[in-house]
Structure 1
């Protein structure tokens, strides 16, 4: 899969939270536009950002080269207005996608955050590359509340290959989550979206997460499942004999199952609950 990469100058880097992020977060932060992981179920495929691009999702990437500079200016401005800054990084891309190894845009942002921290930062990724920045994440933990949330939608590699063949392997993600947790940085496993998993999935997360967040294609695509339908997800589940996992109550069923292994306050469900208080779980 080829990749068209462009350097861009973003007008802003902090975007006021909307939609599902509006419950608890004040801003989203996307160091890139586009995403090299190209997951088949990604709701961004159905957003204007992609629909009018003219290039397939996963085959283009815009690098916001002034992201760190913009963050510094914007956070200082918000501080002057005594505004809380609760950031979700990232909502429409992965801050640790493959190009980050070379571009270092996310790392530059974290360096600025160490000097000018937000009130809270959630790093949302599916990449083990996040461990490269453990030095900065540990420093940032001493200055603000922070959680590293790793997307682990299944514990089955064969299932991952069907839905997200270009994303990092599950074992690598689990190891990265453990490394972050062992470094003292709060962690979350984001089962988002729920994909078929084995009965032992909860055991793999035991002792390496402070919280588990559950999402599904029907409640988490921003349009009540309509985006997922347009992306052909019902047909894909059916093709592989997995239709029972594409149900309206899958998030409730998964929460109930995980509740056999984790306390109730450790488990949240997308769109049903407010911003989680991670500090209470440490």
Structure 2
């Protein structure tokens, strides 16, 4: 897929946390668009994608001058009360272009000098390991949430062919653990997986968030239903996994390996 890159100076970076993310004071997106182009991404059904009239995943806007903008906004926000930030709500802060542009890294540098009360970094990219030095400086103020929807690589390739391999994400969780950076595995959304999935994650994290389309797309599954996601399950003969009951199957498997205080459901798992 040919990809278009545009450079834009945003008017603002910090946006009020609302809806699914109303537990945060702000959300922060270093980019607009995401070239991981996950088939089930709820952002495909949001105005930022619909009104673009381009295929989701074929474009990305780089937000230039972001560090200077964030520094001003962060100081202003902190003067008004506690600041908790979800990064990112509609893009992956470590999608491939970040390796070159380093917008996310520049924002982390600002947050090291002007720490928010809490920062959640939501990604599916092993590139987050590049910024271990900055994440360590944030200490308990940060949590990295690494999406690991399945332990089956063939399933990952079917649903998210442009996203990083599962094994690379597991290795990243291991590196974060060794660096003592707070992290969780986000099984979001639930995809077909094996019974061994909990045993694979058990040595890597002490916190797991499990979510599905019906709880986590912000519309009770309606946004996802407008996408051709169900057909992807049918192609594999895995229709039973596109059902609210699939979540319970996965949760029950994990509850046999993880204590209940380490298992979180949907919105609760992403809150500060």
TM-score by length of 2: 0.97
How far residue 207 of structure 1 moved from its aligned partner, in angstroms, is 2.2
* Partner Cα distance (1:196, 1:74) in 2: 41
Please say if 1:21 is aligned against 2:21: yes
* Partner Cα distance (2:248, 2:192) in 1: 14
Q: What residue number does 1:154 align with?
A: 150
* Partner Cα distance (1:263, 1:71) in 2: 38
How far residue 182 of structure 1 moved from its aligned partner, in angstroms, is 0.8
Whether the 8 Å CA contact 1:186–1:210 is kept in 2: the answer is: no
* Partner Cα distance (1:241, 1:36) in 2: 27
Higher helix share: 2
Whether the 8 Å CA contact 1:25–1:275 is kept in 2: the answer is: no
Going from structure 1 to structure 2, the CA distance change for 1:62 and 1:275 (only over 3 Å counts) comes to: closer
Q: How does 1:65-214 map to 2 (within 5 A)?
A: 65-81=64-80, 83-141=81-139, 145-214=141-210
Going from structure 1 to structure 2, the CA distance change for 1:180 and 1:50 (only over 3 Å counts) comes to: same
Q: In structure 1, list runs of 5 or more residues that go unmatched.
A: 278-282
* Partner Cα distance (1:98, 1:175) in 2: 18
TM-score by length of 1: 0.94
Whether the 8 Å CA contact 1:251–1:269 is kept in 2: the answer is: no
Q: Which moved more, 1:157-166 or 1:242-251?
A: 242-251
Q: What residue number does 2:217 align with?
A: 221
Q: What residue number does 2:57 align with?
A: 58
Paired residues, what number?
A: 272
Whether the 8 Å CA contact 2:78–2:116 is kept in 1: the answer is: no
How far residue 276 of structure 1 moved from its aligned partner, in angstroms, is 5.2
Q: What residue number does 1:232 align with?
A: 228
SS of the equivalent of 2:184 reads strand
* Partner Cα distance (2:269, 2:222) in 1: 23
How far residue 15 of structure 1 moved from its aligned partner, in angstroms, is 0.8
Q: Which moved more, 1:128-137 or 1:241-250?
A: 241-250
* Partner Cα distance (1:275, 1:244) in 2: 26
Q: Which moved more, 1:33-42 or 1:205-214?
A: 205-214
RMSD of Structure 2 on Structure 1 (CA): 1.2
Map Cα deviations across residues 27-67 of structure 1 (whole Å, 9 max, x no partner): 11100000010000000000010001011000000001122
* Partner Cα distance (2:126, 2:94) in 1: 8
Q: What residue number does 1:280 align with?
A: none
SS of the equivalent of 1:118 reads coil
How far residue 107 of structure 1 moved from its aligned partner, in angstroms, is 0.3
* Partner Cα distance (2:142, 2:131) in 1: 13
The runs of at least 4 aligned residues of structure 1 exceeding 3 Å deviation read 273-277
Whether the 8 Å CA contact 1:26–1:85 is kept in 2: the answer is: yes
* Partner Cα distance (1:63, 1:186) in 2: 28
Whether the 8 Å CA contact 1:30–1:93 is kept in 2: the answer is: yes
